[in-house]
Amino acid sequence: MKLKRVVVTGLGALTPIADSTPDYWNALLQGVSGAAPITKFDVSEFKTRFACELKGFNPLDHFDRKEARKYDPFTQYAMVSTAEAVEDAGIDLDKIDKDRVGVIWGSGIGGLETFLKEVSSYAKSEGPPRFSPFFIPKMIADIAAGHISIKYGFRGPNYTTTSACASSANALIDSFNLIRLGKADMFISGGSEAAVNEAGLGGFSAMHAISVRNDDPKTGSRPFDKDRDGFVLGEGSGTLVFEELEHARKRGAKIYAEVVGGGMSADAYHMTSPHPEGLGAIKVMQNTLDDAGLDIADVDHINTHGTSTPLGDIAEPKAIVSLFGEHAYKISINSTKSMIGHLLGAAGAAESIATVLSVQNDVVPPTINHFTDDPEIDNKLDFTFHKAKERTVNIALSNTFGFGGHNACVAFKKFAQ
């Protein structure tokens, strides 16, 4: 069968540097850091005391009090970014076949805040165990997808992908595949995460995965820098509307970019560390190029996983050079995480939004906080350090890798009739 073409027609972003897509894009181009001392809880006894929190987010600005109580923060974030994306896509709910619109959402953890509060309350209580009837429905990772479909009446395929930090990239790939196979006309897809709490901070700190640069939080996320000391924990949500091309044309939708490929692979190496030679990263990018029918010379930009971890930031550039050869030095590489931190299961969606906008606008946002070259990294690569770079971006890849060795990559192309 002939595969259908898939395009991006709506975007919604709720991030540590902005609470809408246009503001997010502008902040990325300006190299704004979202890292700051944590305000949500007392961090005085924690080794790391900063993160990339959402700034000034108040659920009551978006939901009435009764509704807000039913949602864990990760679902609140999902609903907010999706509302922006649905509006941005110009979807008239009375003029589409809702049986042909689905929701595939990604979250690596789900309702961690709800789990923390309920179990903490139980541990401190005496007498019969008391739990909220909303405990399980708020906590489970699939609930954001469910609430999105309930709000809008979308009755197509509905589920959640969980593959650690690759979760929302996997959601995008599944959405892309189901549309091009003719199983749906449109998907609301993306991911959300809300792990900036005592459990999230403490857990990642115990793994020595996050930066301890408490004296200078804004420069805590230092992808590809010699003195990087871990990622900066982030939170937020990103939503993309993927749509079959003819369906989008018939309703006169604006088109940001075309989705042309998606690849997946596994490192099959270690619980948390990447393969030292980047074998899983090589494979996932090659799979994506093969899926899209692209040559290595077609790629102009790669939005890397680029977490600012000691091992990951060596393996990924090594994989890029291994796969692309001399063409690697013509690719503009960057790390969105240098500004928004690591949004965990939402990373793939938030970074794909940035990648789509790079393709649309022919600009690659910078990788900030680079001070010292790492001799273990090929510094002849164009990491787009310090300043945004204007250049033609016809084809771009967005890489996302997760604990457990999960790798996902999505390819976007400048839309042409």
270 is catalytic: no
Single out the catalytic residue among 165, 301, 370, 409: 165
52 is catalytic: no
409 is catalytic: no
* C-alpha span between 276 and 282 (Å, rounded): 12
Single out the catalytic residue among 147, 275, 305, 406: 305
* C-alpha span between 214 and 380 (Å, rounded): 31
- What is the C-alpha end-to-end distance of the chain, expressed in Å? 21
List the structure tokens of 74.
Answer: 């990760």
* C-alpha span between 316 and 378 (Å, rounded): 11
Q: Rounded to whole angstroms, what are the CA distances from 311 to 169, 229, 265, 267, 272?
A: 21, 10, 19, 14, 10
Single out the catalytic residue among 342, 370, 406, 409: 342
Compute φ and ψ for 177, nearest 5 degrees.
Answer: -65, -40
CA-based R_g, the chain, Å: 20
Say if CB 258 and CB 412 are below 8 A apart: yes
Q: Which residue bears the tokens 């938030």? A: 350
Q: Rounded to whole angstroms, what are the CA distances from 138 to 83, 135, 144, 361?
A: 19, 5, 9, 38
| Helix intervals (H) in 270-374 | 279-292, 312-324, 337-340, 347-361
Catalytic residue IDs: 165, 305, 342
